[in-house]
Every structure is written in C-alpha cells, then in structure tokens.
C-alpha cells in the first residue's frame, strides 16, 4: 500500500540517533492510535449495548401487547377490535424483535470482535515490546559503560572475558528486540487501517442485512394495515378534540350556571325550592347521640333509591340502607347546635333519624322529596305532575306537625282497606288525589299475600303429602349424591353450558310478568326486608345456564338444589345501577289463581356478572328457539316425505289394480270364444293357455282327428 512509512530494520544494529528519533515518531503515532481506538471502541460498544437494549425492549413490548387481552381494566371493557389490533401489532413487533436480535448477533461478530482483538492483542503487544526494548537498551548501555572502564594496565583476563560476554549478550538482545519492535511498529501502520475499516464494514453489512429483513417483513399488506390504523387514530383524535371542546363548553356553562350555587345558603328568590322531586341526593349531617345531652354529627352522602333512603361514606363502593321511607313522616325540627335540621320517622315509629342540610332550600327540598316518596308518588309514570297536585300537602310537612301518635292515627288504614296489603297508602290529606295515589300501590305487580322466601329448599327433602311444591322446583326428587336417574346428563348434549357463582337473596310471588319493573320492585322489597329484619346470610350456589334449563347446584356436593325449565323463564333483568343484582320471573306450569298463572320472581347476587348472566339466559333462549324451529321444520319435512311416500304407494296400488283389470278383461275375452267338443259329443272348455295352444296348432289337431 502506498504512503506507508517504515522503520529501517537494517539500521537497528547501528542504533543511530536518527533511527532513535524516527522511532520516537512511530511511538507517538502508536500512542495516538491507541487513544483513538479506545474512544472508537467505546462508541461502538454503546451502539452494541443500545442494539441489545432495543432488541430486549422490542421483545418486552411485543409480550405486553399480547397480554393486553388478559388485562381487566375497570373502564376498558371487552374491546375486541382493540385486542385484535394490538395482537396484529404484537405479531409485527415480534418479527422486528427477531430482526433486532439477529442484528445484535451480527454486530457482535462483525463489528465488536475485530476492534476488540486489535485493542486487546495488537496494541498491548506494542506496549509490551516497547517495555522489553527499553530494558534491553538500558542493559546494553550499562554493559558498554563497564567495558569502556577496563584498565590499561595488566588486566584481569577473567573480568575482561565477563565484560565482553556481557556486551555480547546485551547487544544481541537489544538487536533482536529492536528488530521485533520495529517490525511490530511497521505492521501497526497496516493494522490501524484494518482496525478502523473492518468494524465499520461489519456494521454497515449488518445494517444492510437488517433493512433487507425489515423490507421482507414490512409488506404491502402491513402498509395497508398501518394506513387503516392511522386513519382510525386520526378519527379518534378528531372525536377527542370534539369531546374536549364540548366538555370545555360544558365547563364554561356550568361555571356560569353554578355561580349562585357556590354559596352555602343561596337566596330562595334566585333559586326557588323544587317541591315536585321524587329523587334527591346530596351530603347531609347525621346526628348521633353520645350521651344524654351530647351528640356528634357525621357527614355522609345520602340518596333516595325507590322507597329507601341510602347513605354512602366517601370511599365506599356501595351505599347502605338507612331506613324505609314508604309511609314515613318527615318534618323540620329545631336543634340547639345546628340549623336546617329535619327528622324522618318510620311508619311504625321504631326508628327515626335527624339530618342537617346545608341550606334552607336544601332542607325544604329534602322534606318535600321524602314526603312525596312516602306517598309512593315515585311509582307513577307522571310523578312530577302528581307531586305538583299534592304540593300543598307537602308544604305542610315543612313546619312542625302534631304529636307522633296523632299524625299516624290519621295515616292508619280504614276498615274498608284491604286486610292483606303489604303497605297501606297515605290517606286523609290528599283529598281528591287519594284515588290517584291508591292506584300507585304495588298490588298490581307484587302479590300481597305471599311471604318472601329468603332461602332455598334442601334437595334431599321430599314433598310431603298434601303440601304444595315450591314454585319453580322440579317435581322429581333429586339424588342427594349429585347423580341423576338418567345415565346421560341433561346438559351433556346442550350447545350452551355456562357456570356462574351466585348468592340467593330471596323470592316472592308476583302478579305481572310483562315488564322489568316487576324485577326491580322485587329487588327493592327483598333488599328492604333483609335490611329491616337483619338478614345477612346468603346461600352461595353455582348457576348453570343451558339450552334446556337453569340449575342451582351446591358448590360442595354438586347436588342440584333447584331446576328452572328455560321455557318457563319469561322475564329476566339486571338492576339499573347495581350490576351485581339480577333476577328472573318463572311462570309455573300448573296452577292458576284468579284466572292467571302463578309467577315467582327469584333475586340473586353475583360477582358483578349480572349482565353476563342475563345475556347468557337470552342466548340460551335464542338457541332453544332456533332448535325448536329446526325441530319443527324437520318434523314438517318428515310429514311431507311420509305424504309423498303414501302417494307413491297409492299410485303403485292403482297401477296394480289397472294391471289386474286388464288381465281379467283378457281372460274374459278368451273365455267368450266357441267351445270345442270331444269325439263322444261332450263340450270341453279350454283354458287360456289351451286356447292359445289351440290357436297355434289347430291344423295339426284336425289332421290327427282325420287320421283317427
């Protein structure tokens, strides 16, 4: 290669100052090369480490994308489109991760290995030879110095020989070391070019190979997929921008509209009291007595739910029942230490609570709302209109009312009222609206004379003689060991077989089964009854949904507790707010009361799977419907095939009859021919075969007769 400077190896023995000066230049060049190669090695090491980190990070990203569908986000739900899109991305990124891993391996072999070898082997060899050369040069100088100091007088031959031997050895060692050192320095001029170019060549070749693999993986189909995802992202971004703009506008409107509400006690003239409410929620202070004259106040969030007053502390997931406010009494009271207080007393007078509102307006609205709920106005479709009509009665409850006994004497039912009513309606203060409010009673939905059943019957208990069966319970006695009488399981051939963990809350008979309000009202009454009677025990079971029936199975013994035929399940619904609650109405096959079938509503609590259970029941009914339609179509096809087969038989029979008639007609025609006589004058009747023979051989017979 042109332009390469070299140290003269021939002049090493002479060791002239010019050679030493030139050697110093080569040594400075070697030091500069060593410094530069060290920095280049660090830079390439960073590239290699970064590539390894990129490969590991890409693999981790692909792994996390694959695990997206297993995540349970509180607000995410089951987004199948998002899951499938991320699975596609995970597949592509996994391929890229493999490409990055291959690139890391190629960088290690083609880039890091050559520069590491040059740095660890060649440069260290130069440093070692330099040290050996320096030692040999110093030893040679010391030997020459001792040789020069030999005396001119009679010399000791032994000392002279030793000094000369020392000079010979040191000079030889210096000469050999210098030649190897010069050779290594000359070779370094070539190796330094190789050490820089070879790693770069390996790096570029590895990158080219990586981009080729990437171009093979990134096909046109992937580009189309990325274009579609980019369009979807832009659509989501535009939707987000529109939603943000809408929310910003809503915030501005609410800021303007809520400005008067920031005051704890706003002016009633600016914000009038709404006396027609049937639902209300907000923070109230509850009075708790700690002694005869001392009390504490606890701030909680209160809300009405149907005919119940619920409370929920900050941070709780669900609210708890405070009291049933159907037919309750509410009035404003004066407390020594608080303002805007009102008292709610249950119908039986056993329980009462004192609550404090933030303002006079809030207190009056709470009183009017609870008063409307106590009269069951919330059950009407036009609750606000009815509440407006009884507004005058609600206003009277704002001021302190007469004594508790006098108030509830007027609210007791008259002798003409129904004796078995679950709850009596408020009367005496509604005037002409009493008939309207009486229509709001739940007797048209829930049967009043059937108690609530809070537990399910054990499967090993048989029906007693003369005792009616529980509605919805199978008439067949269930095997206590979890085995059915049939050799084949009921759900073995079922297309659908889903299992859910549920807890039985209760059941009660209902009159109507056309609207979901039946399930909602049954839920409300059962939960209220549980809270009133302090019933907290619930029976946990496994609910199995098949295309034939719904079964409640004991989780420990696998015994079927109850079996509900799927065709008898006429209604099913989930609670509007608490998705853990669900229920269904079962219309029993036998028995009718007052011309209507017996219907029982069953209420359960699940692990936040109420909607899934209802969807599963709906799917089971659809599958059963399609199976029934297929069965009917199959039966109809069989009937048509049978009719066609009968028609074929009739046609074959008709053809046979026609054939027989033809045969008979031919026989009659044959018998109508003239009869032949024998030789003695007797008539002989010929059969059909004989007649045929006679026709064929009549001339022969005549010849025989003539010969005779």
Residue spans per domain, the chain:
17-71+78-217, 281-393, 497-628
Residue 180 has a pLDDT of 93
pLDDT of residue 443: 52
What single DSSP character describes residue 294? -
Alpha-carbon distance of 478 to 697, in angstroms, equals 89
> Lowest-pLDDT range, 97-101, 264-268, 333-337, 653-657?
264-268
Instruction: Using the predicted structure, report yes or no on whether residue 84 has a pLDDT greater than 90.
Output: no
How large is the average pLDDT for residues 660-682? 69
Mean pLDDT of the chain: 77
Rounded to whole angstroms, the Cα distance separating 286 from 282 reads 12
Per-residue pLDDT reduced to its tens digit, 605-638: 887 778 889 988 888 888 888 888 888 888 888 8
pLDDT, one tens digit per residue, over 199-211 is 999 999 999 988 8
Confidence of residue 396 (pLDDT cuts 50, 70, 90): very low
CATH of 281-393, one of 2.102.10.10, 3.90.550.10, 2.30.29.30, 2.60.40.1180: 2.30.29.30
Q: Which of 206-210, 219-223, 375-379, 702-706 has the lowest mean pLDDT?
A: 702-706
Distance CA 302, CA 320 (A): 10
Confidence of residue 43 (pLDDT cuts 50, 70, 90): very high
The answer to whether residues 598 and 471 touch, using CB atoms and an 8 Å cutoff, is yes
Whole-number pLDDT of residue 686: 42
- Rounded Cα–Cα distance for residues 128 and 142 (Å): 22
Whether residue 112 is predicted with pLDDT greater than 70 in this model: the reply is yes
Confidence of residue 534 (pLDDT cuts 50, 70, 90): low
Per the model's pLDDT, the better-predicted residue between 393 and 342 turns out to be 342
pLDDT in tens, 636-649: 888 888 888 888 88
What whole-number distance in Å separates Cα of residue 204 and Cα of residue 201? 5
For 497-628, CATH number?
A: 2.30.29.30
With H, G, I as helix, E, B as strand and everything else as coil, classify residue 545: strand
381, 368 Cβ separation under 8 angstroms: no
What pLDDT score does 595 carry? 62
For residues 645-666, one letter each, b for 16 or more C-beta atoms within 10 angstroms of the residue's C-beta and e for the rest, the string is: eeeeeeeeeeeeeeeeeeeeee
Q: What's the pLDDT score for residue 408?
A: 37
| Confidence band for 390, pLDDT divided at 50, 70 and 90 | low
Question: Per-residue pLDDT averaged across 556-565, rounded?
Answer: 85
Percentage of residues of the chain with pLDDT beyond 70: 77
Structure-token pair, residue 512:
């109507």
pLDDT digits 0-9 by tens, 482-532:
444 443 444 445 677 888 888 888 888 887 777 888 888 888 888 877 766
Residue 594 banded pLDDT, cuts 50, 70, 90: low
Identify the pLDDT of residue 391.
59
- Condensed to tens digits (0 to 9), the pLDDT of residues 123-142 reads 999 999 999 999 999 999 99
The answer to whether the CB of 298 falls within 8 A of the CB of 285 is yes
The answer on pLDDT for 152 being more than 90 is no
pLDDT higher than threshold 90 for residue 105: yes
Residue 254 pLDDT class (50, 70, 90 cuts): confident
**DSSP 8-state code for residue 446:** B
Cβ neighbours of residue 86 closer than 8 Å, sequence gap 6 or more: 65, 68, 69
Long-range contacts at 65-74 (CB < 8 A, ≥ 24 apart): 65/89, 65/90, 65/93, 66/90
As a whole number, mean pLDDT of residues 186-195 equals 89
Nearest by Cα to 105 from 96, 113, 116, 93: 113
Q: Is there a contact between 453 and 526 (Cβ–Cβ < 8 Å)?
A: no
Please choose, from the candidates 576, 575, 581, 571, the residue with its C-alpha nearest in 3D space to the C-alpha of residue 617: 571
What's the pLDDT at 437? 39
Which range, 162-166, 388-392, 426-430, 695-699, has the best average confidence (pLDDT)? 162-166
CB 330 within 8 A of CB 397: yes
C-alpha–C-alpha distance, residues 371 and 393, integer Å: 9
Q: Residue 516: beta bridge partners?
A: none
Measure CA of the first residue to CA of the last residue in the chain; give whole Å: 146
Element (H, E) at 238: helix 220-257
Q: Which of 562, 587, 424 is nearest to 512 (CA)?
A: 587
Answer whether 501's CB lies under 8 Å from 556's CB.
no
What is the spatial distance between Cα 277 and Cα 377, in angstroms, rounded to a whole number?
Answer: 10
CA distance 53 to 59: 10
Domain 17-71+78-217 and domain 497-628, same fold? Reply is: no
Query: Which range among 6-20, 193-207, 382-396 shows the weakest confidence by mean pLDDT?
Result: 382-396
Q: What is the pLDDT of residue 590?
A: 61
Q: In percent, how much of the chain has pLDDT > 90? A: 21
Contact between 132 and 124 (Cβ < 8 Å): no
Helices then strands (H, E): number in the chain?
15, 16
Min mean pLDDT across 337-341, 522-526, 534-538, 655-659 is at 534-538
| 17-71+78-217 under CATH 1.20.1270.60, yes or no | yes
401 pLDDT above the threshold of 70: no
Return the half-sphere exposure (C-beta side, CA atoms, 13 A cut-off) of residue 482: 8
Contact present, 646 and 537 (Cβ < 8 Å): no
- pLDDT for position 49: 94
CA–CA distance from 349 to each of 307, 327, 329, 404 (Å)?
Answer: 17, 11, 9, 8
Average pLDDT over residues 530-539: 69
Report, as an integer, the average pLDDT of 57-70: 89
């Amino acid at each position: 290669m042109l332009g390469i400077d070299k140290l003269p190896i021939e002049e090493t023995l002479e060791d002239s100052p010019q050679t030493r000066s030139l050697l110093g230049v080569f040594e400075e060049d070697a030091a500069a090369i060593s410094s530069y190669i060290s920095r280049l090695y660090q830079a390439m090491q960073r590239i290699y480490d970064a590539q390894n980190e990129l490969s590991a990070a890409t693999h981790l990203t692909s792994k996390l994308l694959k695990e997206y569908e297993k995540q349970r986000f509180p607000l995410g739900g089951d987004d199948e489109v998002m899951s499938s899109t991320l699975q596609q991305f995970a597949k592509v990124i996994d391929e890229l991760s493999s490409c990055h891993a291959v690139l890391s391996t190629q960088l290690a072999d083609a880039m890091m290995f050559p520069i590491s070898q040059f740095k660890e082997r060649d440069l260290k060899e130069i440093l070692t030879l330099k040290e050996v050369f320096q030692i040999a040069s110093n030893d040679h100088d010391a030997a020459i110095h001792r040789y020069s100091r030999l005396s001119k007088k009679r010399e000791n031959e032994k000392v002279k020989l030793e000094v000369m031997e020392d000079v010979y050895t040191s000079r030889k060692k210096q000469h050999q070391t210098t030649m190897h050192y010069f050779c290594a320095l000359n070779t370094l001029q070539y190796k330094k070019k190789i050490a820089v170019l070879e790693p770069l060549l390996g790096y570029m070749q590895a990158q080219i190979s990586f981009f080729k693999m990437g171009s093979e993986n990134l096909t046109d189909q992937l580009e189309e997929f990325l274009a579609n995802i980019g369009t979807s992202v832009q659509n989501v971004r535009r939707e987000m921008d529109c939603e943000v703009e809408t929310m910003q506008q809503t915030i501005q409107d609410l800021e303007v509209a809520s400005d008067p509400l920031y005051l704890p006690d706003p002016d009633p003239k600016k914000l009038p009291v709404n006396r027609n409410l049937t639902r209300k929620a907000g923070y109230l202070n509850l009075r708790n007595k700690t002694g005869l004259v001392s009390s504490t106040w606890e701030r909680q969030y209160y809300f009405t739910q149907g005919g119940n007053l619920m409370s929920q502390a900050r941070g709780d997931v669900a609210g708890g029942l405070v009291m049933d406010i159907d037919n309750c009494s509410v009035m404003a009271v004066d407390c020594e230490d608080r303002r805007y207080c009102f008292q709610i007393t249950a119908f039986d007078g056993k329980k009462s609570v004192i609550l404090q509102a933030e303002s006079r307006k809030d207190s009056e609205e709470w009183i009017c709302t609870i008063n409307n709920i106590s009269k069951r106005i919330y059950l009407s479709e036009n609750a606000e209109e009815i509440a407006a009509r009884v507004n005058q009665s609600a206003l009277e409850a704002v001021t302190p009312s007469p004594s508790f006994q006098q108030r509830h004497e007027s609210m007791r039912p008259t002798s003409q009222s129904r004796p078995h009513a679950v709850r009596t309606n408020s009367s005496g203060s509604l005037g002409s609206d009493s008939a309207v409010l009486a229509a709001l009673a739940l007797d048209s939905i829930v049967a009043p004379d059937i108690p609530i059943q809070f537990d399910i019957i054990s499967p090993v208990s048989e029906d007693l003689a003369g005792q009616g069966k529980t509605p919805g319970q199978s008439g067949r006695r269930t095997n206590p060991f979890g085995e059915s009488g049939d050799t084949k399981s009921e759900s073995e051939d079922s297309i659908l077989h889903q299992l859910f963990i549920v807890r039985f809350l209760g059941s009660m008979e209902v009159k109507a089964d056309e609207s979901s309000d039946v399930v909602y009202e049954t839920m409300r009454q059962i939960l209220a009854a549980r809270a009133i009677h302090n019933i907290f025990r619930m029976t946990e079971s496994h609910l199995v949904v098949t295309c034939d029936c719904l079964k409640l199975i004991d989780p420990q013994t696998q015994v079927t507790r109850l079996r509900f035929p799927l065709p008898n399940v006429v209604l099913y619904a989930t609670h509007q707010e608490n998705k853990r609650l669900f229920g269904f109405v079962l219309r029993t096959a036998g028995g009718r009361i007052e011309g209507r079938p017996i219907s029982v509503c069953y209420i359960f609590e699940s692990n936040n799977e109420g909607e899934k259970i209802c969807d599963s029941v709906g799917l089971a009914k659809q599958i059963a419907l399609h199976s029934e339609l297929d069965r009917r179509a199959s039966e109809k096809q069989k009937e048509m095939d049978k009719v066609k087969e009968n028609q074929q038989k009739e046609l074959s029979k008709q053809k046979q009859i026609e054939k027989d008639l033809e045969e008979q007609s031919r026989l009659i025609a044959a018998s109508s021919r003239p009869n032949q006589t024998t030789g003695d004058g007797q008539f002989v009747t010929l059969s059909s075969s004989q007649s045929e023979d006679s026709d064929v051989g009549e001339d022969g017979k005549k010849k025989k007769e003539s010969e005779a």
